[in-house]
Amino acid sequence: MIEVQSIDKSFAGQRVLRELGFEIPDGRITALLGANGAGKTTCLRIVTGLLRADAGRVLLGGRDVAADPLAARRQLGVVGDREGLYERLTVEEYLTLFARMQGLAGAALRQSLDAVREELELGELWKRRTRGFSQGERMKVSLARALVHRPQHLILDEPTRGLDVLAARLLRRTLLRLRAEGTTILFSSHVMSEVAELSDCVLVMADGRIVGNGSPAELMENTGSDNLEDSFVALAYGSAARSECIEGTPA
Ligand SMILES: Nc1ncnc2c1ncn2[C@@H]1O[C@H](COP(=O)(O)OP(=O)(O)OP(=O)(O)O)[C@@H](O)[C@H]1O
């Protein structure tokens, strides 16, 4: 479970997150939506421990990310807005390095590497250095790095950005499989069709707050919309003027 409790964050006096709070239960896929600049990446960086909040806290599986970062990271996989590949290493070397850093060794290490190679169809890339990889190839390696230690929580920042149809499909299939295995998944996106297809729950951010929280069907019902995009627009852009939340959503 991911618990975000009353997070505040400012950059140079500009308040980006305002008492942001939400909970994500295990075995669910949750999408984080918001206009450009709404604070999604800042929120995800705080949830993953890359950035410190000014106030509030984040718990991953009950562990405070800021107070106990190593324990939190052991149960966390992250696909960030940059892939962070080491271009001189082959895929195998790169994933082995990250698996070792997560404490895997011996047969367990071998098994984990074999599993991600197969699941993410990395066979042909396995012995290649990652320099020059296409966007889709980079995403697959980045996702494999995030998954190699079988984390309980997976966080992805716009994971399908720049992917072709097949790569996006592989990613969606992987997320659905992980959900079936009980993984807790939080991802940000601007692609409404993929959010509607994948998400059990949608969080809509505006002005550093959650202004909508529910299943796609609930958000549509609460906004009187017959599609998720209209519902998102009503919440994300209407909210700045109305500064109110849909029923049942924390302010
Ligand atoms: N390191 C930083 N220093 C200064 N300002 C920052 C920093 N990181 C983010 N911001 C500002 O915080 C606000 C929220 O940015 P953030 O990247 O979290 O938005 P976002 O919702 O992810 O946007 P997008 O959809 O465009 O990726 C923006 O106004 C951005 O300029």
Please name the residue whose Cα sits nearest to atom 17 of ligand 1.
Answer: 41
Give the mutation target among 20, 42, 158, 211 for probing the ligand 1 site: most ligand atoms within 8 A of CB. Answer: 42
Please name the residue whose Cα sits nearest to atom 7 of ligand 1.
Answer: 11
For residue 145, CA distances in Å to 23, 52, 67, 137, 206 come to 25, 23, 24, 13, 31
Structure tokens at 102: 């997560």
- Position 241 scores a pLDDT of 41
Rounded to two decimals, the ipTM of the complex is 0.96
- Position 245 scores a pLDDT of 42
Structure tokens at 51: 């950035």
| Ligand 1 center–CA 41 separation, angstroms | 7
Calculate Rg over the CA atoms of the chain. 18
Element (H, E) at 79: strand 76-79
The β-bridge relationship of strands 2-11 and 14-24 is: antiparallel
Query: What's the CA angle centered on 70, arms 24 and 65, to 5 degrees?
Result: 40
What's the CA gap between 214 and 94, in Å, rounded? Answer: 38
For residue 44, CA distances in Å to 2, 6, 79 come to 11, 14, 10
For residue 90, the SS3 value is strand
Give the mutation target among 7, 15, 16, 195 for probing the ligand 1 site: most ligand atoms within 8 A of CB. Answer: 16
What's the CA gap between 126 and 137, in Å, rounded? Answer: 11
- Position 135 scores a pLDDT of 86
Beta bridge partners of 78: 155
Nearest atom of ligand 1 to the alpha carbon of 34: 21
Per-residue pLDDT reduced to its tens digit, 74-101: 899 999 877 788 989 999 999 999 999 9
Using 70 as the pLDDT threshold, list the residues of the chain that sit under it: 239-251
Give the mutation target among 4, 17, 33, 40 for probing the ligand 1 site: most ligand atoms within 8 A of CB. Answer: 40
- Position 55 scores a pLDDT of 96
| Ligand 1 center–CA 37 separation, angstroms | 5
155 closest CA partner among 188, 117, 203: 188
Please name the residue whose Cα sits nearest to atom 24 of ligand 1.
Answer: 36
Q: Which residues line ligand 1 (CB under 6 A)?
A: 11, 16, 34, 36-42
| Ligand 1 center–CA 205 separation, angstroms | 13
pTM: 0.89
- Position 118 scores a pLDDT of 95
| Ligand 1 center–CA 40 separation, angstroms | 8
CB 43 within 8 A of CB 17: yes
